[in-house]
Amino acid sequence: MQAAYIEQYGKEDNLTLGRQPIPEILDNQVLIKVHASAVNPVDWMVRNGVFKEHNVHTLPLILGWDAAGEIAQIGSAVTHFALGQAVYAYTSIVKQGAYAQYIAVDADLVASKPRTLNFEQSAAVPLAATTAWQALTKAGELNAGDKILIHNASGGVGMFAVQIAKALGAYVIGTASKASEPFVQSLGVDEFIDYQQHDFTEKVSELDFVLVAVGGDNIVERSLNVVKKEGYLISLLDKISDSLAKSHQVNYHRLWVTPDRDDLNAIAKLIDSGDVKVIIDSSYPLSDIKLAHQRSQSKRAKGKIVVRIPHDK
């Protein structure tokens, strides 16, 4: 099968487009014929070797852990899928990825794709939307009427977080640069803060929830000053010490997203009901995977970057 993979860690030039064997499935797995995948920042972090010392991956490594496609083969212990069923998945990041024509995935990670989306749009959802969902409903608890600040409302995760927070009935404040304001407004924020023009600590206070979907600038630490006591501060990247958060009486967690089919089902419902829309920043054929990585590394994407997987050869 065609796939994009690395044989050594490093820059995007290490991404090779070539042939790899179609994976063999285990009894508890399904084989997905992948029509689209997506790029998340973790893809190029893994490519750069972020987990190299932990020996979690085997080279050559196919990157990309979002998949949308059709069930092409079903393991003997799997009962709830049909051949040809349209599915999507956030697949295990310690295994081979989905920049490929086929991927073997544990069946309990796979869900029916949202009915109202095509494969490209569906591939944009799993990892980023699951992160937003787990941040707002599991790491923290966002309730109707709560006030939430979302740092980086314009990226893949932020796009979903803003809309999920609105669907949960929250008052949403989002940050991004001026150039991203129309995009973030279109997601339905109640307030927008241009982080290049304004210090958010002078604009907001006494918030119920802060989601930090960006790194740097001591944003996590500074956010402690705008969360009210017993409120939530969830970071997706940078860490602060638990004792510092405790001294502010804030519920702080550094979230690591985990694949979860129930979450994908909940997210598909929000999408099919029209509460959450999926916006594609850019779409690349698998052959342009290096460009797709460059776009993600620019940290300027508005919405999601998707990768189309051809099946004509």
Binding site for ligand NAP (CB under 6 A): 40-42, 128, 131, 151-152, 154-158, 175-177, 179-180, 195, 213-215, 236-237, 255-257, 296, 299-302
CA proximity to 150, closest of 137, 165, 140, 138: 165
As measured in angstroms, the least distance from the Cβ of 232 to ligand NAP is 15
Q: Which is nearer to ligand NAP, 46 or 71 (CB)?
A: 46
Contact 210, 226 (CB under 8 A): yes
Q: Which residue has the tokens 């591939």?
A: 123
Task: Kindly compute the dihedral angle of the four CA atoms of residues 37, 157, 118, 187, in this order, to the nearest 10 degrees.
Answer: -150
CB-CB contact of 306 with 124 (8 Å): yes
Note whether 190 and 173 are within 8 A (CB): yes
Q: Which is nearer to ligand NAP, 76 or 197 (CB)?
A: 197
Q: Considering the complex, state which of residue 33 and residue 151 has its C-beta at the smaller distance from ligand NAP.
A: 151
> Residue 71 has which token pair?
């069930």
Least Å from the CB of residue 262 to ligand NAP? 17
CB of 29 or CB of 152, closer to ligand NAP: 152
Minimum CB distance to ligand NAP smaller for 177 or for 241: 177
Query: Could you tell me which residues are beta bridge partners of residue 172?
Result: 148
Q: Which helix (H) or strand (E) holds 88?
A: strand 86-90
> Which residues fall within 8 angstroms of residue 257, CB to CB, at 6 or more apart?
90, 127, 130, 131, 134
Q: Minimum distance between the CB of residue 257 and ligand NAP, rounded to whole angstroms?
A: 4
Q: Minimum distance from CB of 149 to ligand NAP (Å)? A: 11
Q: What is the DSSP letter of 26?
A: P
Cβ proximity to ligand NAP: between 142 and 161 the closer is: 161
CB of 89 to ligand NAP, least distance (A): 16
Q: Which residue is nearest to ligand NAP (CB)?
A: 155
| Cα 293 to Cα 98: distance, rounded to the nearest angstrom | 14
State the nearest-atom distance from the C-beta of 267 to ligand NAP, in Å. 14
